[in-house]
Homo-oligomer: A and B are copies of this chain.
Amino acid sequence: MSGGLSGMFDPDRVAVVGATDRADSVGRALMENLLADFDGEAVPVNPGRDRVLDRECYPDVGSVPDPVDVAVVVVPAAVAVDAVREAAEAGVESVVVITAGFGETGGEGAARERDLRAVADEYDLDLVGPNSIGVLSTPAGLNATFAPTMALPGDISFMSQSGAFITAVLSWAEERGLGFKDIVSLGNKTVLDEVDFVDHWGDDPDTSVVLGYLEDVSDGRAFIETARETTGNTPLVVVKSGWTDAGAQAASSHTGAIAGSERAYEAGMDQAGAIRVETVEELFDFAQVLSGQPLPDTDDVAVVTNAGGPGVMATDAIGASDLSLASFAESTRADLRAVLPDETGADNPLDLIGDATVDRFRDTLDTVLRDDGVGGAVVIACPTATFDYADLAAVIRECDAAHDKPLVTCLMGGERATAAARALDDDGIPNYFDPARAVRSLDALARYRAISEREYDAPAEFDVDRERAREVLESVERRENNRLGVEAMDLLDAYGIDTPRGEILTDPTDAEAVARRYDGPVVMKIVSPDILHKSDIGGVRVGVPNDEVYDTFETLVARAHNYQSDATVLGVQVQESVDIDAGVETIVGMNRDPQFGPLLLFGLGGIFVEILEDSSFRVAPVSEREARTMTEEIDSAPLLRGARGRDSTDVDAVVEAIQRLSQLVTDFPAIEELDINPLVALPDGAQAVDIRLTVNPTQL
């Protein structure tokens, strides 16, 4: 056991502060749970009692004669902070606050939560809760919760932001025979949160899968960094609830958490290496298979079945997943033909037909698992008179033991197959009625294998002119609305993002002079902090010949004042034309998320992002590989790469622009939102033609 939290899960002595004999009380339930199986000592603490459940009771933690490792606090909210302080002063390092009535109730409770945090900081406490149902760890027989069921032993560790969900899972897992290593009810996460437990369990040799039910993530960046470490060795499967608008609203009224955007969670969870699931069924299906089965070497799967129909269903599920149906090697096919009846083919899905015996299952399963091109197998057995489920289970267990490849089964025999399914379960082989569900579990193994093999490159660090960028951003302090437009193009230049040549002029004669220095007609844009959507008011003119620059200047200024008579006009930008017809317009943007920080967006311009919502998101900073994936995973990606007979654009230049923007928004937390729209991807290079950003001057 390693990590700073081992004291929480493997204590010698636990004090229950607020322990009582009173029937139906949380204090009594906790004492009873601790007295049931705990290898260590459970000590009641309550100044009003001498004995609790026949144990000597102490007035305070300091009076307990032996060192206390964990204090579980169940006293009323009004005295809970004092109780925590007292325990800390007595030398306790780990505290679990069961008591509710903190931040989740607002007002007074929120103040109380701040006090609790201050005490925890002062004494450097590992503190779970408040508003938690407690912690549980099976190796030590520790049930420091008030849930009515102890977990079965196992290697799955589980954290949940809903305490009630833990009680439900415990009841249900008992029925299903699913075991756990540690369980923690996170409560309000005043001190310890998901990041701490992901970190701890990542180093815990007795935890082979980490599960989370999360309603928010306290610190997105820390979560990504920590989870990347953990998920290299240990799978992390998460239900992040509140992923729909309706759910997010319900979650936020439930926990008081500020909702981050679903897109940030989607990107952040993926960047963290977490396998995100939407349903409880998947959460535990995936936990079970990841705990019990090895990872496949390839994504190619064999289906061995005694019935065609369910074999097709499994094949459909494979087709719908990232898995593929394995092609058997010629030698495998020869071996299969030797053991199969003549009317049966040797193709995958392998139909053993209705008179299949257990021997036929064994011979074929063993044969296909010996094929190097087979990563794992689904075994499907409909009930027939020619085999017995108990015998089949024995054969499947044999094959499972003989081959280091994942197996999942569909023993579709109802009660006839119950005992056999349980025997498989004891060996960590999951069984389902639905072939699609079996395949999804196999797919989870393949997904995790890909995650465990990921390499996380460091983001590139470009040589940039940070001071010049800061000066541009500081110019916002002279604005009322914290917004900047084309006048901030220098910001991009300072970070090495190519922009067409351009200048902001306040005089039409100067404008004309600048235009003459550029090749061909120019683009002219009104520059005014009061005009957010320049195009909408006719404030942009493209293809302006030199001899029309003077008049156009005056027209643009007139339009600005027409739109808003007191508009501040900083001037007119004269910009060299970019040959948009030779390129593809893209959008690169950033929005700062409350949990995950800078969220980058990439997509094609025009209708693609705005109407088709065809866009890719990543939490910054991004590596070159991540930036490239953003340009590849949008549906319209082929357009960047020369679809429909056009030249390919310079995707490398776009990828570099994304990375440079990533560096910019990481360097300057003051940038709240930023859009480069369009960034024109050209056959050679990429040019940022327009920019819009919002700056928070207090962060500068």
Q: Which residues of A contact B (CB under 8 A)?
A: 24, 29, 105, 148-149, 160-165, 167-168, 170-175, 213, 215, 239, 241-247, 249-251, 253-255, 278-281, 306-313, 315-320, 324-325, 343, 345, 347, 349, 351, 354, 382-385, 412-418, 433-437, 606-607, 610-612, 614, 635-636, 638-639, 643-644
Contacts and interface: CB of A to CB of B under 8 A. Distances in A.
B172 A318 contact: no
The interface centre, meaning the residue of A29, A254, A636 with most chain B CB atoms within 10 A of its CB, is A254
A585 to B, nearest CB: 13
B241 A281 contact: no
Given A148-B383, A172-B412, A612 B611 contact: no
27 contacts: A24-B385, A105-B343, A149-B414, A164-B354, A165-B309, A168-B412, A171-B383, A171-B415, A171-B417, A213-B309, A215-B309, A243-B320, A247-B316, A247-B319, A249-B315, A251-B312, A254-B311, A278-B316, A278-B320, A279-B313, A279-B437, A280-B433, A280-B436, A611-B635, A611-B636, A611-B643, A612-B635
Contact of A612 (B172, B213, B418, B636): B636
A244 B171 contact: no
A83 B307 CA distance: 28
Contacts of A383: 148-149, 167-168, 171
A255 B312 CA distance: 11
* Oligomeric state, in copies: 2
Contacts of A636: 607, 611-612
Contact of A307 (B162, B281, B606): B162
Given A167-B382, A318-B246, A635-B612, A434 B281 contact: yes
A215 B435 CA distance: 16
Nearest to A436: B279
Contact of A250 (B170, B312, B639): B312
A247 B168 contact: no
A612 B278 CA distance: 26
Report the 10 A-B pairs with minimum CB-CB distance, sorted nearest first. Answer: A162-B309, A244-B319, A164-B307, A171-B414, A247-B316, A168-B412, A246-B319, A254-B308, A164-B382, A250-B315
A315 B247 contact: yes
Given A105-B343, A167-B382, A246-B318, 18 more contacts: A148-B383, A149-B383, A161-B309, A164-B309, A171-B415, A172-B433, A243-B316, A245-B319, A246-B316, A247-B316, A251-B312, A278-B316, A280-B313, A280-B433, A281-B437, A611-B638, A611-B643, A612-B614
